[in-house]
Structure 1
Amino acid sequence: MSKLLRLAILALFTLIPALAHQRIEVGNYVLICGMRNEPSYTGMRSGLDLSIRTKDGTPVEKAEKSLTVELISPTGSKYTYLGDGQYGPKSFWESFSEKGKYLSDWVLLTPGLWKVRVFGQIGETPIDVTFDSPSTFTVKDGKALELR
């Protein structure tokens, strides 16, 4: 297989999950949010995958310090994630390998449409957006994957 073809295949599989992410512009900022593993299934590890950039494409670093992430279940239950530097449950953090990318871990147990609300402030710009795209945030029943 040629090197060019291998690179093209790698690029395709790297970009596919990002294509399902939802994009919202606020002021001079672009927030792109999705699940770390798409499609997502109940009982399987996933998490927040949020990129924040300026409109000219510059990554926004250290935004976790002034933002809060709220995960909203299909039943309306709310779970708050803080950029508190803890790197654990109910926390989100900036990626070590990609500037302007923020991550968390979660295991969702309820199938259906989940929502992610991001609120707070970036610089002088107030942020309060909810990501709720059915193609991104619908969690499927993981029992369909079980083998017995």
Structure 2
Amino acid sequence: MRRAILAVALAVPLLLAAFSLRPAFAHSEAEVGDIRIIGGWENEPPLLGQLNAIYIQVERISDGSPVTNAFSSTDVNIVKGGESKALEVLPAEEAGVYLADIIPTQLGQYAITFQGTISGQQVNTQVEIEDVEDSRSLNFPESGDTGTGVPQGFVDEMRAVISDLTTQIDSANTTAEEARDTALAAAEIKAEADRAYLVGIVGIGVGVAGIAIAAVALRKS
């Protein structure tokens, strides 16, 4: 019995220490009248280009009770720098909790703005949420690795060889086209020469025939 009590006594501090070491969500809050709005990212830390969601919790300060249907008359926007985007806020399974899917595309801090009425309370406030981080700090393997076990240097060399072969093929095609054009030109020149030779032969034949006719005529006279 004493051993069981001792084991429990030792386990409780260890459990408390374990829970105390869990990272706390970097959620911020704003209070308007009896309404408390808590906002942040659903997945933290938020990473650049990764699907995430805006987490919003609405409760009454007086008794801590959740506020349902909180945004039926309230516009909710996410703001980064000078740009803003309306959020499609949907209720989560837990009462008083709402989510809006989003993919952050810039590093740095974002804010959620609220303007309208929540449970009869006029609301015009904003909540700043945790900075979006670059995912490269969590990448593994390093982005220089292709993930296939092939060294990046070898891949780069193969790309260079392929590029060189492509250039040589293009050059060979150009040379072949030039040779073909030259051959066509030579064939045309030869054809012209053949025609000129034929015309010359015909001319000579006509001349010889004329001389023969003239000789016969002289002999008769």
Counting only pairs closer than 5 Å after superposition, residues 36-51 of structure 1 correspond to structure 2 as 36-51=42-57
| Whole-Å separation in 2 of the counterparts to 1:138 and 1:70 | 17
**Are residues 144 and 11 of structure 1, via their aligned partners in 2, closer, same or farther at CA, if it must alter by over 3 Å?**
closer
Q: Which amino acid aligns with 1:47?
A: A
Q: Identity over aligned residues, as a percent?
A: 24
Structure showing greater Rg:
2
The alignment's C-alpha RMSD in Å is 2.3
Whether contact under 8 Å (1:43, 1:107) holds in the other structure is yes
Q: 1:21 corresponds to which residue? A: 27
- Choose which of 105, 114, 119 in structure 2 pairs with 1:118: 114
Match of 1:52 in 2: 58
Structure 1 position 4, deviation (Å): 5.5
In structure 2, what residue type is equivalent to 1:141?
A: D
The reply on whether 1:143 has 2:136 as its aligned counterpart is yes
Q: CA deviation at 1:40?
A: 1.1
Q: Does 1:106 align with 2:99?
A: no
In structure 2, stretches of 5+ residues that fail to align are 1-6, 144-221
**Number of the residue aligned with 1:32:** 38
Q: Which has the higher helix share?
A: 2
Report SS of the residue matched to 1:41. coil
Aligned-partner residue type, residue 64 of structure 1? F
Aligned: 1:70 with 2:77:
yes
Instruction: Confirm whether residue 95 of structure 1 aligns to residue 83 of structure 2.
Output: no
Structure 1 unpaired stretches of 5+ = 82-90
CA distance in structure 2 between the partners assigned to 1:12 and 1:99 by the alignment: 27
Secondary structure of 2:24's counterpart equals helix
Amino acid at match of 1:37: N
CA contact (8 A) 1:64 1:93 kept: no
TM-score normalised by L of structure 1: 0.76
Letter in 2 for 1:57: G
Number of equivalences: 131
| Cα contact 1:64–1:94 (8 A) shared by 2 | no
Q: Which has the higher strand share?
A: 1
